[in-house]
Chains A and B, each alone.
Chain A
Amino acid sequence: MRASDLHVSLPIVARETTALEAARAIAADDLVGLVIADSAGVPSAVVSAVDVLGLLVPSYVLDDMALAGVLDEEAAEEVWAKAGQSTIGELIDDDRVHIYELLRVDADDTILEVAARMANARAQIALIKGSSGPDAQFVTLTALMDAILTFCAPSDTSHNDA
């Protein structure tokens, strides 16, 4: 099995994408991260889903977690309504957020090569070289895990049974 056998299409976001749109994309496809395109539309970076979650929370609450509890439900609803206006660009500009450079793998890389490179780069998403633009193809962490599991024997309980 090769990298190209694991390919999936992913939504690609831009600097202007709002936090709300990004959250919808993550929730709709159970994504662990989002691919960010540069100004020319070329996929170039990855932001993790949890950092997008941080974009929905006011910065002052992230700066001081004690403040999360002082707001009641009604106030929290206002916070969510307001938070959706933030953009991915703000995440990119935030020094506290780590934006990963998009890892690139060859289409004919073996699963082991892809796994090693993604683990080494702590990447949740890798771009398959040769694909680009709206048709870009990716390897995701979940697809890679599924592939690895097909090579492993079903969980062996013989040790316990012995």
Chain B
Amino acid sequence: MSIQVILALAVFVGAYVLIATEKVPRVTVALVGAGLMVIIGATDKRGIFFSQESGIDWNVIFLLLGMMIIVGILQQSGLFEFLAIWAAKRAKGRPFVIMVMLVLITAVLSAFLDNVTTVLLIAPVTLLICDRLTISPIPFLIAEVMSSNIGGTATLIGDPPNIIIASRGGLSFNDFIVNVAPIVVILLVVFVGLCWLMFRKQLGFDPARVARVMALNEREAIRDVPLLVKSLSVLALVIAGFILHSLVNLEPAIVALLGAGLLVLITRLEPRKIFADVEWQTLLFFAGLFIMVGGLVSLGVIEAVGQAAIQAVGTNYLGATAGLLFGSAVFSGIVDNIPYVATLAPLVNDLVQAGGQPAQPLWWALTLGADLGGNATAVGASANVVVLGIAMRNGHPISFWTFTKYGLVVTAVTVTLCLPYLWLRYFA
């Protein structure tokens, strides 16, 4: 092992530890790590900007950018608040029915929006509804963030790791719908049952409070009907573009950017409002990660590990699928799943290239494990951290262990259910 490889591995492991411990902002760690990779000669400008194998994955960056712009505009319409209050009124103020409806709304929205945005939109209105019912919002917030992580697993655009997996594996929007969405639907049904078991004792119903919910006027939440119509129309076009990918022959990133451009054009919002919700730090974090992983790819580290993995796996793809599923779930419960998937994706790609069609389920094992593992602990996914912050600010603190005791149950059940699904679909 050359000194260059040792230094590159040291940079990579050091960056991972710093990201996991959150002592330093993750974007800072990724960019400094990327800089160090350049300094030690693990990569160069051609490798960073122009290499498909070892460079920044521009498909991922621009797909995220396009979707952030679209969602940033859509969320100004008040649609999400309208839906949540409408659901609470349809449920006639019954807490568990409200919880089920909010869980399902959150899961569906999360399949098309990123999870953090979804919970940022659904948490305040949940607090309002619970305030009206004079019940604790904690079970609702926990259930919503978990359903957001489950629902986001269903599509290519639902969770950032899926975008990385799709780009590295050459997988389409429809591939995710066909291979992942069915199990996500099953998991949501099971999750609703788990919510009943875990939270039913905390959902006291006071009929006298129902009128307070029924008095809410959801129509007032819709602030700009033309904006709502325009942004929903463009989102529908973008999703149609993803689904008809093979017909329109446009990459998802191009579809998202065209959609974002169209929406900017027809809404004529100020640039300040359009770009306010673009998470530039997240985009730079991705870029830094790609450079760091690219450094290991350029030095042949990923290939060497991939070869070792190929030899270890042999033709036992069911065993590899199970290992990757559970390993990813455990790892993603502890550290951010984005760097984990960014690192694992080239390795899985090597395995799939070597194994062909029988190895294809490895992509779905990585997707399900990494996305569902985020539910395991309070720090397993960015959305969890965001919801804990909102809860704290509103006087309903959720401790790490309160979240984690529910998270471990939900993760164990959902990830375990994925194994028979993968076996039945691809190996039986």
Contact = CB atoms under 8 A, between A and B. Distances in A.
Contacts of B123: 60, 63
Interface residues of A, number: 15
B393 interface: yes
B394 A75 contact: no
Given A60-B124, A64-B81, A70 B216 contact: yes
Interface in B99-136: 120-121, 123-125, 127-128, 131-132
B175 to A, nearest CB: 35
B223 interface: yes
Interface residues of B, number: 25
B121 A75 contact: no
Contacts of A67: 81, 124-125, 128, 221
A60 B128 contact: yes
Given A58-B131, A64-B81, A70 B217 contact: yes
Contacts, number: 61
A66 B131 contact: no
A75 B215 contact: yes
B223 A66 contact: yes
Contact of A60 (B212, B220, B221, B394): B394
A94 B128 contact: no
Interface string A52-75: 000000111101101101111011
B55 to A, nearest CB: 37
B217 A66 contact: no
A155 to B, nearest CB: 35
Contacts of A74: 215
Contacts of A59: 127, 393-395
B235 interface: no
A69 B224 CA distance: 13
A78 to B, nearest CB: 8
B304 to A, nearest CB: 45
A94 B389 CA distance: 11
Contacts of B258: none
Contact of B217 (A60, A61, A72): A72
Interface of A: 58-61, 63-64, 66-67, 69-72, 74-75, 94
Interface of B: 78, 81, 85, 120-121, 123-125, 127-128, 131-132, 212, 215-218, 220-223, 390, 393-395
7 nearest interchain CB pairs? A69-B220, A64-B124, A60-B127, A60-B124, A66-B78, A63-B124, A66-B221
